[in-house]
């Protein structure tokens, strides 16, 4: 049987190098698989060293009392028991849950609304799209400083506008009651990133579905509920999951604007982990808290994944 | 027949191998042996090597950014440093992005800390308490004449003493004084502040502050600082009343329950929330005290000597040479001593210094560098070619005042002498540090200060109750995981 040039070269090289001939030559699929692994290897190495590795290490470190400098000794499950009884951890978890519970649905609705409005075929759509997307590109610290000015009780824009309609504005981030809502409101400013994904999702809905619905007599609202939303559910699911993961790790705004105050009203889990580790050097305890946060996020994600069978509709070809 | 590796098996073996590597790497490092006691070694200067390749390489982590002032200062410094120490070569590191203390901590954990590092405030004590600052006392004793400890303000080293030994050397100091707007004083018809320490009482200060209050927009207050709280800004007020935040005899404990402390805290609360004469928190809304002073929202500002630069140029540091020579503020201003209370004269002297890493392989050379940065020669350089920060040596202060006036003629009318007098009179004091300082102030005390000073939702007794938790934690009665529970139990 005639063999290809590649196989001929391979066999000749093996003879020269004294390598035992393969019992059978690699198929094209096998070679492609090998190349795939080779190309993936750099990323896998980076992932193992800088992401998966540290994640696993955190669980190991959480079994020790260590400041990484002068003391390291085994304490077993002490820190893991402590995270469930520590009132400050509980406070941080509840604060973060509050943030997630409002910002994720709020951000999802806002991003979807903007995307739907932008999908109406208006003029200068690309300009509007850019305007809505730009805030999500600005760094977290710059955004925090900017919003600190907006929230200024005397000269800030918000209280100034409220003052014009006769309402005395709150102290915003300088008030225990308003600090977290202020930070949540700020997070909605970055809805532009999700908006782009929703826009792509909307563009992917086949128009024949809308035409069929229209023929069947469905009005705008019914078309929205029975065509747009179901077809958009995969995109919604993706954005919700990404938003969940990001929201549970909120840090910059609390760190820059409020330092977790007033009176721990904006103390988030990641901020508490940072303080416990880098400021108090209880790295073992900080690792246990990080492990707890990981488990909480994991539970949320798994629950979301489990729920997909009830509400996410994947288009079948 | 050879079995090809399936995708699943490849991934499985990769994960197993990786997990094994990671678990092996996260095995705890054995507790490092402490550096040998300096007393055990003969603390003699080592003989200078004769060959260039035997030069000792040091790393110095500075607090300066990469701007022209810092580069110019350190270039001039290293010129004469290398003359005195030809066997040493120093890699000068600019201030890193992000938090400098975290950066240094990470390097030390990795075993690659800078040999000499410069820090400020609570960060200095943090590294001393973590055992990362070499005990400098034997070197200071050996080189006593050159170091001349008595040339420094007497309490300069208090935050840097551990077990009776000094662990840091000063970089510069900043005396807290009152900056005041003379034009506003004229407008309201208030006498200028006295220029001698001990002449302005607290009651007079408080009355003066109240005279400037305007509650219609644009709002106006009498005075302010960076923000009263569980920090050094409240500490000097407490000292003015004869109280302390940290027990001077026991850094585990707080003295915030003393009647004098509660009285002081109550005065502060009233000035902020009832008289509205002290600008704080929400009403400042994140605007800095400098901006408030510059735009005449406050008539007085409690500020250190480092604030001179902002008043002269609007910039963070005075350019001692090639300064633009602008009159940044459009009003006449002056300096006055801080008020004097029942506790006597008080001020705040900043805590900026450099230490030697306890694990450095070159302690002698590092000490030479550390010592030279604290020398009178370096401080003179700082005045003439550097960023014009207040020297920490009393002998250099007169040159400082003269140099500033020569560069900025406007300062002829400003009582710069008040800063020098605070040092020569040894008026206390430096920042007070707890053991586990950052945790005690941020996690335990700050929530109470927020409720009292920021929101006015609790009486000052709440601060006292929180301060008791500080002692409980530091003395080991409760662990870090119990702090939240202890604070939750407090009822006032």
Q: B314-329 pLDDT, tens per residue?
A: 655 544 434 445 556 7
In chain B, residues 423-482 whose CB comes closer than 8 Å to chain A:
436, 438-439, 442-443, 446-447, 450-451, 454-455, 457, 479-482
User: Is B46 within the bounds of a domain?
Assistant: no
Residue numbers in B near A67 (CB within 8 A): 130
Residue B34: predicted pLDDT? 44
Average pLDDT of chain A, as a whole number: 89
Contact B282 A91 (CB under 8 A): no
C-alpha B434: how far from chain center:
14
The residue count of chain B comes to 492
Contact B487 A70 (CB under 8 A): no
Q: Which of A134-143, B25-34, B109-118, B148-157 has the lowest mean pLDDT?
A: B25-34
User: Within a 10 A sphere around the Cβ of A166, how many other Cβ atoms?
Assistant: 6
B230 and B288 fall within a common domain: yes
Asked whether the beta carbons of A162 and A169 are under 8 A apart, the reply is: yes
Instruction: List phi, psi (to 5°) of B162.
Output: -130, 125
Higher pLDDT, B408 or B261: B261
In chain B, residues 215-244 whose CB comes closer than 8 Å to chain A:
217, 219
User: Is B407 within the bounds of a domain?
Assistant: no
Q: What distance in Å separates residue B208's CA from the closest CA in chain A?
A: 24
B370 and B480 fall within a common domain: no
Six-digit token pair at A174? 């300088």
B208 and B278 fall within a common domain: yes
Residue A267: predicted pLDDT? 96
CB-closest option in B10, B105, B447 to A263:
B447
Residue B321: predicted pLDDT? 39
Looking at B370, B392, B414, which one is the last position of a domain? B392
Compute the average pLDDT of residues A285-299.
96
User: Is B412 within the bounds of a domain?
Assistant: no
Indicate which of A54, A178, A263, A285 best probes the interface with B, i.e. most B CBs within 10 Å of its own CB.
A263
Six-digit token pair at B44? 């003699």
User: Is B324 within the bounds of a domain?
Assistant: yes
Shortest CA distance to A112 belongs to which of A49, A190, A191? A191
User: Is B216 within the bounds of a domain?
Assistant: yes
Asked whether the beta carbons of B285 and A151 are under 8 A apart, the reply is: yes
Average pLDDT of chain B, as a whole number: 88
Ramachandran region of residue B164, left (φ > 0), alpha (ψ -120 to 50) or beta? Answer: left
Six-digit token pair at A130? 């850019």
Residue B312: predicted pLDDT? 77
In chain B, residues 75-114 whose CB comes closer than 8 Å to chain A:
99, 102, 105, 108-109
Contact A83 B131 (CB under 8 A): no
B366 and B336 fall within a common domain: no
Indicate which of A279, A282, A286, A292 best probes the interface with B, i.e. most B CBs within 10 Å of its own CB.
A279
Q: Give A23-53 as a 3 state SS string.
A: CCCCCHHHHHHHHHHHHHHHHHHHHHHHHHH
Contact A86 B481 (CB under 8 A): yes
Q: Give B261-285 as a 3 state SS string.
A: HHHHHHHHHHHHHHCCCEECHHHCC
Contact A72 B447 (CB under 8 A): no
Higher pLDDT, A146 or B298: B298
Residue A262: predicted pLDDT? 93
Q: How many CB contacts within 8 angstroms connect chain A with chain B?
A: 140
Q: Which residues pair with B36 in a beta bridge?
A: none
User: Is B149 within the bounds of a domain?
Assistant: yes
- Interchain CB contact of B490 with A (< 8 Å): no
Domain around B113: 53-172+350-392
B292 and B225 fall within a common domain: yes
Residue B271: predicted pLDDT? 97
Looking at B325, B360, B392, which one is the last position of a domain? B392
C-alpha B389: how far from chain center:
13
Residue numbers in A near B480 (CB within 8 A): 276, 280, 282, 285
Shortest CA distance to B350 belongs to which of B240, B227, B231, B198? B231
CA dist., res. B278 & res. B455, Å (int): 14
CA dist., res. B486 & res. A97, Å (int): 23
Residue B73: predicted pLDDT? 87
Residue numbers in A near B287 (CB within 8 A): 152
Q: Which of A62-66, A177-181, A237-241, A254-258 has the lowest mean pLDDT?
A: A254-258
Q: What distance in Å separates residue B23's CA from the closest CA in chain A?
A: 7
CA dist., res. A15 & res. A9, Å (int): 10
Asked whether the beta carbons of B446 and A261 are under 8 A apart, the reply is: yes
Higher pLDDT, B431 or B96: B431
User: Is B37 within the bounds of a domain?
Assistant: no
B150 and B235 fall within a common domain: no
Looking at B338, B360, B392, which one is the last position of a domain? B392
Six-digit token pair at B68? 């022209």
Q: What distance in Å separates residue B479's CA from the closest CA in chain A?
A: 10
Q: How far is CA B238 from CA A177, B202, B233, in A?
A: 30, 12, 9
Domains (range + CATH), chain A: 5-43 (no CATH), 84-311 (1.10.3720.10)
Residue A25: predicted pLDDT? 65
Residue numbers in B near A285 (CB within 8 A): 480-481
Contact A53 B283 (CB under 8 A): no
CA dist., res. A242 & res. B423, Å (int): 57
B311 and B377 fall within a common domain: no
Contact B31 A278 (CB under 8 A): no
B272 and B341 fall within a common domain: yes
In chain B, residues 244-283 whose CB comes closer than 8 Å to chain A:
281-283
The rounded percent of chain B whose pLDDT value lies above 70 is: 90
Instruction: List phi, psi (to 5°) of A78.
Output: -55, -50
Residue B285: predicted pLDDT? 76
Asked whether the beta carbons of B355 and B436 are under 8 A apart, the reply is: no
B208 and B325 fall within a common domain: yes
Residues 6+ apart with CB under 8 A from A139: none
Shortest CA distance to A281 belongs to which of A79, A75, A88, A71? A71
Q: Confidence class of residue B20 from pLDDT cuts 50, 70 and 90? A: confident
Whether B230 has a pLDDT exceeding 90, the answer reads yes
B99-108 burial: b if 16+ Cβ within 10 Å, else e = ebbebbbebb
Contact B29 A72 (CB under 8 A): yes
Contact B484 A88 (CB under 8 A): yes
Compute the average pLDDT of residues A228-257.
93
Residue numbers in A near B102 (CB within 8 A): 278
Residue B4: predicted pLDDT? 67
Q: Checking DSSP bridges between strand B300-303 and strand B177-181, what pairing results, if any?
A: antiparallel
Six-digit token pair at B464? 């006292």
- Interchain CB contact of B20 with A (< 8 Å): no
Place of tokens 């440093």: B81
Q: Which residues pair with A250 in a beta bridge?
A: none
Residue numbers in B near A73 (CB within 8 A): 28, 31
Residue A149: predicted pLDDT? 87
Contact A152 B28 (CB under 8 A): no
- Interchain CB contact of B19 with A (< 8 Å): yes
Reported as a single tens digit per residue, the pLDDT across A104-133 is 999 999 999 999 999 888 788 889 889 889
CA dist., res. B76 & res. B384, Å (int): 11
Residue numbers in A near B442 (CB within 8 A): 259, 275, 279
B96 and B64 fall within a common domain: yes
How many domains, chain B? 2
Reported as a single tens digit per residue, the pLDDT across A186-232 is 999 888 889 999 999 999 898 899 999 999 998 989 999 999 999 99
Contact A71 B484 (CB under 8 A): no
Compute the average pLDDT of residues B304-313.
83
B257 and B341 fall within a common domain: yes
Contact B10 A37 (CB under 8 A): yes
Residue numbers in A near B447 (CB within 8 A): 261, 263-264
Q: Confidence class of residue B2 from pLDDT cuts 50, 70 and 90? A: very low
Residue A194: predicted pLDDT? 92
Shortest CA distance to B133 belongs to which of B327, B351, B363, B307? B363
Indicate which of B4, B130, B285 best probes the interface with A, i.e. most A CBs within 10 Å of its own CB.
B285
CB-closest option in B18, B283, B455 to A262:
B455
Asked whether the beta carbons of B198 and B345 are under 8 A apart, the reply is: yes
Whether B26 has a pLDDT exceeding 70, the answer reads no
CA dist., res. B258 & res. B254, Å (int): 9
Contact B130 A90 (CB under 8 A): no
Q: What is the CATH number of the domain that holds B266?
A: 3.40.190.10
Q: Which of A283-287, B208-212, B217-221, B364-368 has the lowest mean pLDDT?
A: B217-221
CB-closest option in B31, B442, B484 to A72:
B31
Residue numbers in B near A30 (CB within 8 A): 4
Q: Confidence class of residue B53 from pLDDT cuts 50, 70 and 90? A: low
Query: Strands, E, within B56-132: which ranges?
Result: 56-61, 88-93, 116-120
Q: What distance in Å separates residue A304's CA from the closest CA in chain B?
A: 26
Where do runs of H (alpha helix) occur along chain A? 5-17, 28-47, 53-61, 78-85, 87-118, 125-133, 140-150, 157-164, 176-187, 192-203, 207-215, 220-223, 229-248, 252-253, 269-274, 283-311
Contact A174 B447 (CB under 8 A): no
Residue numbers in B near A86 (CB within 8 A): 481-485
Reported as a single tens digit per residue, the pLDDT across B435-484 is 999 999 999 999 999 999 999 999 999 999 999 999 999 999 999 999 99
Q: What distance in Å separates residue A84's CA from the closest CA in chain B?
A: 10
Residue in B closest to A48 by C-alpha: B18
**Segment (H or E) for B172:** strand B169-172
Give pTM, 2 decimals: 0.86
Instruction: List phi, psi (to 5°) of B59.
Output: -115, 130
Whether B38 has a pLDDT exceeding 50, the answer reads no
Residue numbers in A near B281 (CB within 8 A): 174
Contact B22 A56 (CB under 8 A): yes
Residue numbers in B near A47 (CB within 8 A): none
Residue in A closest to B127 by C-alpha: A69
Residue in A closest to B458 by C-alpha: A263
Contact B19 A83 (CB under 8 A): no
User: Is B38 within the bounds of a domain?
Assistant: no
B199 and B316 fall within a common domain: yes
């Amino acid at each position: 049987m005639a063999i290809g040039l590649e196989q001929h070269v391979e066999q000749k090289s093996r003879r020269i190098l004294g390598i035992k001939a393969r019992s059978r030559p690699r198929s094209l699929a096998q070679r492609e698989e090998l190349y795939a692994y080779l190309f993936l290897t750099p990323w896998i190495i980076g992932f193992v060293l800088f992401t998966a590795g540290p994640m696993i290490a955190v669980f190991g470190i959480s079994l020790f009392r260590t400041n990484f400098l002068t003391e390291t000794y085994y304490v077993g499950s002490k820190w893991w028991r402590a995270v469930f009884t520590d009132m400050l951890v509980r406070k941080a978890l509840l604060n973060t849950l509050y943030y997630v519970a409002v910002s994720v649905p709020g951000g999802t609705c806002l991003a979807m609304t903007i995307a739907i409005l932008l999908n109406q075929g208006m003029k200068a759509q690309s300009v509007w799209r850019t305007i809505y997307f730009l805030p999500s590109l600005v760094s977290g610290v710059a955004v925090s400083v900017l919003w600190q000015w907006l929230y200024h009780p005397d000269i800030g824009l918000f209280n100034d506008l409220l003052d014009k309609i006769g309402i005395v504005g709150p102290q915003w981030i300088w008030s225990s009651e308003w600090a977290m809502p202020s930070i949540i409101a700020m997070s909605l400013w970055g809805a532009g990133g999700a908006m782009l994904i929703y826009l792509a999702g909307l563009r992917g809905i086949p128009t024949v579905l809308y035409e069929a619905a229209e023929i069947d007599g469905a009005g705008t609202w019914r078309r929205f509920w029975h065509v747009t939303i179901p077809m958009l559910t995969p995109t919604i699911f993706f954005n919700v999951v990404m938003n969940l993961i990001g929201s549970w790790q909120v840090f910059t705004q609390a760190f820059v604007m409020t330092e977790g105050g007033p009176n721990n009203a904006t103390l988030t889990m990641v901020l508490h982990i940072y303080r416990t580790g880098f400021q108090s050097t209880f790295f073992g305890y900080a690792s246990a808290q990080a492990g707890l946060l990981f488990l909480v996020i994991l539970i949320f994600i798994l629950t979301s994944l489990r729920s997909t069978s009830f509400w996410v509709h994947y288009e079948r070809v | 027949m050879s079995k090809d590796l399936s995708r699943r098996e490849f991934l499985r073996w990769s994960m197993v191998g990786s997990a094994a590597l990671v678990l092996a790497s996260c095995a705890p490092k054995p507790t490092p042996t402490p550096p040998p006691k300096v007393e055990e070694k003969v603390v003699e200067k080592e003989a200078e090597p004769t060959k260039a390749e035997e030069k000792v390489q040091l790393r110095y982590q500075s607090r300066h950014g990469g701007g022209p002032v810092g580069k110019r200062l350190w270039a001039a410094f290293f010129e004469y440093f290398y003359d005195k120490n030809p066997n040493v070569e120093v890699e000068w590191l600019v201030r890193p992005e992000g938090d400098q203390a975290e950066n240094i901590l990470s390097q030390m954990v990795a075993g690659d800390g800078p040999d000499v590092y410069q820090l400020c405030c609570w960060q200095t004590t943090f590294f001393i308490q973590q055992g990362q600052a070499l005990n400098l006392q034997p070197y200071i004793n050996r080189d006593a004449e050159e170091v001349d400890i008595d040339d420094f303000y007497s309490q300069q080293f208090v935050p840097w003493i551990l077990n009776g030994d000094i662990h840091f050397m000063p970089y510069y100091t900043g005396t807290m004084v009152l900056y005041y707007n003379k034009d506003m004083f004229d407008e309201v018809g208030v006498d200028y502040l006295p220029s001698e320490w001990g002449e302005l009482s607290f009651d007079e200060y408080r009355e003066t502050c109240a005279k400037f209050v305007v509650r219609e927009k644009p709002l106006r207050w009498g005075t302010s600082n960076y923000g009263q709280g569980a920090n050094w800004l409240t500490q000097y007020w407490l000292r003015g009343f004869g109280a302390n935040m940290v027990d001077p005899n026991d850094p585990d404990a707080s003295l915030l329950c003393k009647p004098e402390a509660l009285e002081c805290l109550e005065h502060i609360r009233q000035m902020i929330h009832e008289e509205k004469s002290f600008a704080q928190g929400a009403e400042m809304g994140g605007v800095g005290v400098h901006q408030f002073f510059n735009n005449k929202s406050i008539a007085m500002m409690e500020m250190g000597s480092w604030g001179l630069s902002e008043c002269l140029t609007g910039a963070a540091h005075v350019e001692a040479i090639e300064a633009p020579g602008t009159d940044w503020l459009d009003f006449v201003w002056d300096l006055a001593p801080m008020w004097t209370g029942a506790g006597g004269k008080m001020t705040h002297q900043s805590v900026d210094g450099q230490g030697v890493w306890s694990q450095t392989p070159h302690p002698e050379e590092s000490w030479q560098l550390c010592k030279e940065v604290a020398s009178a020669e370096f401080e003179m350089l700082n005045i003439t070619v550097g960023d014009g920060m207040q020297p920490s040596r009393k002998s250099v202060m007169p040159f400082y005042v003269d140099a500033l006036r020569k560069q900025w003629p406007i300062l002829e009318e400003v009582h710069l002498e008040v800063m020098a007098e605070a040092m020569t009179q040894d008026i206390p004091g430096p920042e007070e540090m707890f053991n586990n300082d950052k945790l005690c102030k941020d996690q335990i005390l700050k929530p109470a200060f927020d409720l009292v000073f920021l929101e006015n939702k609790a009486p000052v007794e709440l601060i006292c109750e929180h301060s008791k938790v500080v002692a409980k934690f530091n003395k080991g009665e409760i662990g870090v995981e119990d702090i939240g529970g202890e604070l939750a139990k407090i009822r006032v």
